[in-house]
Amino acid sequence: MTAVVNQLPIGLSIAAVLLLVALGLTVTFGQMGVINMAHGEFIMAGAYTAFLLGDLLLALPAAFVVAGLMGLALERGAIRHFYGRPLDTLLLTWGVSLVLQQLARDLFGAPNVQVPAPSWLSGGIGILPYNRLFIMALAVAGVAGIWLYLTRTRLGRRTQAVVQNRRLAATSGIDPGRVDMLTFFIGSGLAGLAGVALTLIGPVGPALGTYYIVDAFLVVVAGGLGQLRGAVLAAVGLGLLNSYAEFWSDASLAKVLVFAAVIGFLQVRPQGLVALRSRALT
């Protein structure tokens, strides 16, 4: 029982990281239908930003901007020509991810590097270390920020209008291209924040993003495409499942168990935890 309780903060911190990554995928994949395999490299970019700056609080906004600009450049330079063609975007962004990984090896070297955690994150409260509490707080702030943006701002309402009906939004005076740019900037920036959070858990390397990108896609699919509440629930569930499965077995078998659990769940509920409500003719 003690081991089970001690594993809880590890699972919750993994869930928080998955949620930060999945928040960006929720707006780019869940809402826009773009399968961005380079999203993991935006995580890596955020982590290396923290490594270069050496200051956690300064690295958070810097990583958001750096990863956001990378996503914006990818959307403007390539992805905007492939909207409505998800398999093409998958192949395109997969190639971009390989290029970015090699670029990171050329700039920082192949070995992993360690980012020292600030002294004020040493210690903890009971079984909850301060660094993992910080990651959870960062995820909560990210969810709150996205929710406020989508529901309480004019730009957020325009984003939802483009997602629901792109052509109708364009005829209403909304520029879909500008909305796409902003959406990719925000989604990629959130991945950068996840990269900074991961520096508090372990070392940073060129392949950092590949360890989390597939699980993040599983969070989006299992939670329900484009559904913020579903992403939160799925991230917590998959984070805890991955943590306990890895504790009782090993990392490879844990991944297999998580995949099997998600596949089994989608067989029962293919629309995900939270489905988009719509009116249908009967």
Total number of domains constituting the chain: 1
Token couple for 163 = 């997602």
Residue 88 lies inside a defined structural domain of this protein: yes
Cα-based angle 159, 165, 168 (whole degrees, multiple of 5)? 105
User: With a threshold of 0.95, does the pTM exceed it?
Assistant: no
Q: Looking up tokens 């900074």, which residue turns up? A: 196
State the residue range of the domain holding 254. 2-268
Residue 279 lies inside a defined structural domain of this protein: no
Does pLDDT of 68 surpass 90?
A: yes
Residue 212 lies inside a defined structural domain of this protein: yes
**Region 125-141 average pLDDT:** 89
DSSP per-residue letters across 161-186: HHHH-HHHHHHTT--HHHHHHHHHHH
DSSP per-residue letters across 103-161: HHHHHH-SS-B--PPPGGGSSEETTEEHHHHHHHHHHHHHHHHHHHHHHHSHHHHHHHH
Residue 129 lies inside a defined structural domain of this protein: yes
Residue 219 lies inside a defined structural domain of this protein: yes
pLDDT number for residue 65: 96
Does pLDDT of 278 surpass 60?
A: no
pLDDT tens track for 210-258: 888 888 888 988 888 778 888 899 999 988 888 888 777 777 787 788 8
Does pLDDT of 279 surpass 60?
A: no
Mean pLDDT lowest among 133-142, 156-165, 231-240: 156-165
Does pLDDT of 162 surpass 50?
A: yes
Residue 276 lies inside a defined structural domain of this protein: no
Of residues 212 and 30, more confidence is placed in 212
- Which residues lie closer than 8 Å to 264 by C-beta, 6 or more apart? none
Residue 274 lies inside a defined structural domain of this protein: no
pLDDT tens track for 116-128: 889 899 888 877 8
Q: How far is the CA of 116 from the CAs of 62, 119, 151, in angstroms?
A: 17, 9, 37
CATH number at residue 251: 1.10.3470
Token couple for 175 = 């520029």
Helices (H) and strands (E) in the chain, counts: 11, 2
Residue 147 lies inside a defined structural domain of this protein: yes
Question: Which of 159, 219, 157, 213 lies closest to 183 in space, CA to CA?
Answer: 159
- Which residues lie closer than 8 Å to 150 by C-beta, 6 or more apart? 156, 157, 159, 160, 228
Q: Average model confidence (pLDDT) for the chain?
A: 86
**261 contacts 242 by C-beta, under 8 angstroms:** no
3-state helix, strand, coil in the chain (%, to 5): 75, 0, 25
